[in-house]
Amino acid sequence: MTDLHRSLAANLKALRSRWGYSQAELAERSGVSVSYVGEIEMALKWPQAEILERLAKAFHVKPYQLFLDPAETQAHQDWLERRDKIVELGEDLFAYFEKRSR
């Protein structure tokens, strides 16, 4: 098993956990079978580029990020969460000031 296999397997597991997806849910979101997701996570299968793109899309990451050190992928997910919170706060502020101006 190569470092790429290990990184891909670790990242898929970590991202699934982070997003709260079961293997079945990831399979459904990416259009692959549950068994195939499991085989990728166990580094038994090496997915084609199209499958990698679909898996990455399910996690809102770029395909290359599936091969990064898991800590780097975690940092990206943390950034996405912070961004979402900032957007939510901005929407709340906008709604607040919109109500006050009426």
pLDDT digits (tens, 9 = 90+) for 30-63: 999 999 999 999 989 999 999 999 999 999 889 9
Q: What's the CATH number where 7 sits?
A: 1.10.260.40
Domain that holds residue 31: 3-100
Phi, psi of 89 (to 5 degrees): -60, -40
In total, how many domains does the chain have?
1
pTM of the predicted structure, to 2 decimals? 0.68
